[in-house]
A and B are shown apart, each in its own frame.
Chain A
Amino acid sequence: MTVSWLANLRQAVSSKLTIGIGGLLALAITSGQSLLEALEPPVLPALATGAPLDAGRWRIALHEARLTTRSRPDGPPAPDGAQFLALELDIANRSSETDNTFARTFTVDPPIDALQPNPTFWLMRDKAMLSALQPGLPERVRVIWRLAPGATAPERLRLVVNGETFKPRDNLFAAPGWFNRKPIAAATLPIAAVEARP
């Protein structure tokens, strides 16, 4: 009787200990992770103008930013005197599939109030809107933001390039995909003034 009571107690204590140890371990690991994330310095490697960077799905090279009066590469100056910010870049699809998520590869950071959101991407080869990029075929692209009317033009543009990592099997469907988008580099481009009107 006493022996079985003792055995029961031992079992209860050992199972409680096991559960407790697991919980403590989980707690320690998550706290450690959040501490590491908090400690991580927010300094991103600088991306030089014109230098290609492999950002997961995309390889991009930023060339120049300038103010313009044209809303599209082959159009006439905008009639209402609106100004635009044009960014030239080379972009190549490194993945194995035609893709159109290029707009997410960089963000303007810090955000510039004068820039209206959702810039248009133009394929310079066609002087037409870019709709998708084929794998292994680099293209020259112009990104055009409209400036808010009456806003003062910014002097420099800081862009943060986002990288993604490829997973051959994701956690939900075991399907291949690109995940964990996070900033990997930053570039600061001077903004050239509006070209003189002919």
Chain B
Amino acid sequence: MSSVFAKLGALLIAALLLAGMQRFTPGYTEITGPIPLKGDLGETLAGRGFTVRADKVLLAETLRFKAYGREVERNSGGVFALVIARLEAQPTSTTVSGAIWLSAQGARFVASPRFQGAPRLLGTDRLEPSLPQRGVFIFEVPREAVAGATLLVAASRWPRLDTQAEIALPVTLGTPAPLIDLGELAYE
């Protein structure tokens, strides 16, 4: 009789152990996920394939730019968040197309696709070594997603075992400007 209990107990312990391992060990995506590279605004971060430095964050209600010879104005139900940054390939040519605005609530906003043809847009052109690009990442976010966000920069949207720069952005960013002309922005 006691051997039956011992067997049952062993079974129970094994089941608990397995359930605990399933629940509390990191999953496949976490193990093979991005390699974080933490930093602050104004700090140059050197990752595996590129270096990045974010300098300034601006907010705007409306953005104006010239694309393919046409004046374009974009407004939003939320607000536009602009990050002026510097990117450089290191050590070979690469594309850094995974810029994400990670809000304090955990929502991930990919750089807005509504600015095709805008000047000095980062993340679209190929980067070359020792030819740094200065430009802007443009995100469209709800107003409540502005405070305490983090900028994620990686070669792809879902980096696997690759660098992801995590740049902490200022907690308070003031009120958004009514209109910013992307052609007149000071990038230097």
Contacts and interface: CB of A to CB of B under 8 A. Distances in A.
Contacts of A139: 77
Of A126, A136, A169, the most chain B CB neighbours within 10 A belong to: A136
Interface residues of B, number: 23
A194 B140 CA distance: 35
A9 to B, nearest CB: 21
Contact of B77 (A126, A138, A173, A175): A138
Name, among A125, A128, A134, A139, the residue most crowded by chain B CB atoms within 10 Å (CB to CB): A134
Given A128-B114, A175-B27, A175-B29, A136 B108 contact: no
Interface string B87-113: 000000000000000000111111011
Contacts of B30: 174
A38 interface: no
Contacts of B74: 125-126
Contacts of A109: none
A103 interface: no
A136 B107 contact: yes
A125 B77 CA distance: 9
Contacts of A131: 113-114
A98 B145 CA distance: 13
A138 B145 CA distance: 15
B142 A137 contact: yes
A174 B110 contact: no
Contacts of A96: 105-108
A113 interface: no
Contacts of A135: 107-109, 142
B41 to A, nearest CB: 23
A173 B77 CA distance: 35
B141 A175 contact: no
Interface in A136-153: 136-139
A96 B112 CA distance: 15
A125 B141 CA distance: 15
B29 A134 contact: no
A196 B76 CA distance: 32
30 contacts: A96-B105, A96-B107, A97-B110, A98-B110, A123-B114, A125-B76, A126-B114, A128-B114, A131-B113, A131-B114, A132-B110, A132-B113, A134-B78, A134-B109, A134-B140, A134-B141, A134-B142, A135-B142, A136-B142, A136-B144, A137-B76, A137-B77, A137-B78, A137-B141, A138-B77, A139-B77, A169-B27, A173-B28, A174-B30, A175-B27
Interface of A: 96-98, 123, 125-126, 128, 131-132, 134-139, 169, 173-175
